[in-house]
Structure 1
Amino acid sequence: MLIRVMLLLITALLWPGLSRGEELPPLPSDAKLALEEDWSSGKIDEKKWYVYRKKWGNGNHGVVPENVTIGKDVVDGKEKNVLICTAHGDQYDGDVIGWWANKTRVGGVIVSQKHFASGRFEMVVKVGDQEKHPGGPIDPKRPRGCIPALWTYSYRWVEGDKARQGEFQAETPMYNPHIPAYGLAANEYWSELDFPEFGKAGNFENAMYNTFLQNRHDNRFFEVPQAVDGEYHTFVTQWRTHLRAMPEIRDDQVMESEGFYWIQDKSVPFAEYLGNPLKKLGENKYALYEGKIAKHYIDGKKVAENDKWVPAIAAQLNMGVWLPDWAGPADWKTASMKIASVKVWQYGDEGDVIGVMKGRNPDSFAKDGTPFK
Structure 2
Amino acid sequence: MNCRTMSRSLAVASLLSLTVAPPLSAQEAKLPPLPRNAKLAFEEDWSSGKIDPKRWYNPRKKWGQGNHGVSPENVRIERDQVAGKQKHVLVCQANGDLYDGPVTGYEGQRTRVGGIVVTQEFFASGRYEVVMKIGGTGKQEGGPEDPTRPKGAVPAVWTYGYRYVSVPKEGMDAFHASEPLYNPHMKAYGEGANEYWTELDFPEFGKGGDFNKALYNTFLQNKHQPRTFDVKPMIDGQYHTLTTEWRTKLVPIEGVSDAQVAEKGGYHWVQDRAIPFNRYFGNPLKRLGKNKYAVYAGDRVDHYLDGRKVAENLTFVPSMAAQLTMGVWLPGWGGPAPWKQATTSFASVKVWQFGDEGDVRGIITENIDDNY
Whether the 8 Å CA contact 1:235–1:299 is kept in 2: the answer is yes
Please name the residue that 2:258 is paired with.
251
Whether the 8 Å CA contact 2:60–2:72 is kept in 1: the answer is yes
Please name the residue that 2:7 is paired with.
none
Question: Distance in 1 between the 2:151 and 2:30 partners?
Answer: 30
Alignment of 1:258-273 (within 5 A): 258-273=265-280
Whether the 8 Å CA contact 2:163–2:366 is kept in 1: the answer is no
Identify which of 313, 316, 320 aligns with 1:309: 316
Q: Classify the secondary structure of the residue corresponding to 1:276.
A: coil
Deviations 1:233-287 (A, max 9, x none): 0000000000000121110010000010000001111111100000001100100
Cα distance, 1:21 vs structure 2: 2.2
Please name the residue that 2:90 is paired with.
83
Aligned residues with identical type, % of pairs = 57
Deviations 1:21-50 (A, max 9, x none): 211011111111111000000100111100
Q: Which amino acid aligns with 1:11?
A: P
Identify which of 138, 142, 145 aligns with 1:131: 138
Q: Does 1:177 align with 2:184?
A: yes
Please name the residue that 1:286 is paired with.
293
Please name the residue that 2:13 is paired with.
none
Question: Distance in 1 between the 2:132 and 2:257 partners?
Answer: 48
Whether the 8 Å CA contact 1:73–1:79 is kept in 2: the answer is yes
Compared CA separation, residues 19 and 220, structure 1 to 2 (3 A): farther
Q: Does 1:362 align with 2:360?
A: no
Q: Which amino acid aligns with 1:23?
A: K
Question: Distance in 2 between the 1:278 and 1:10 partners?
Answer: 31
Displaced runs of 4 or more, over 6 A: none
Question: Distance in 1 between the 2:154 and 2:26 partners?
Answer: 27
Whether the 8 Å CA contact 2:21–2:228 is kept in 1: the answer is no
Q: Classify the secondary structure of the residue corresponding to 1:331.
A: coil
Compared CA separation, residues 242 and 71, structure 1 to 2 (3 A): same
Q: Which amino acid aligns with 1:306?
A: N
Alignment of 1:331-346 (within 5 A): 331-346=338-353
Whether the 8 Å CA contact 2:21–2:227 is kept in 1: the answer is no
Alignment of 1:142-291 (within 5 A): 142-291=149-298
What residue ranges of structure 2 are gaps of 5+ in the alignment? 1-19
Question: Distance in 1 between the 2:27 and 2:308 partners?
Answer: 7
Please name the residue that 1:115 is paired with.
122
Deviations 1:175-232 (A, max 9, x none): 0000111111000110000000000000100000000000111000001100011000
Identify which of 312, 315, 318 aligns with 2:325: 318
What residue ranges of structure 1 are gaps of 5+ in the alignment? 1-8, 366-373
Q: Which amino acid aligns with 1:126?
A: K
Please name the residue that 1:40 is paired with.
47
Please name the residue that 1:11 is paired with.
22
Q: Does 1:59 align with 2:66?
A: yes
Q: Classify the secondary structure of the residue corresponding to 2:188.
A: coil
Question: Distance in 2 between the 1:225 and 1:162 partners?
Answer: 48
Q: Classify the secondary structure of the residue corresponding to 1:171.
A: coil
Question: Distance in 2 between the 1:84 and 1:27 partners?
Answer: 29
Identify which of 306, 319, 334 aligns with 1:327: 334
Question: Distance in 1 between the 2:77 and 2:187 partners?
Answer: 42
Question: Distance in 2 between the 1:126 and 1:164 partners?
Answer: 49
Cα distance, 1:331 vs structure 2: 0.2
Whether the 8 Å CA contact 2:209–2:334 is kept in 1: the answer is yes
Deviations 1:99-155 (A, max 9, x none): 000000000010000000000000000012111000000000010001000000000
Compared CA separation, residues 48 and 10, structure 1 to 2 (3 A): closer
Please name the residue that 1:141 is paired with.
148
Cα distance, 1:19 vs structure 2: 5.8
Please name the residue that 1:350 is paired with.
357
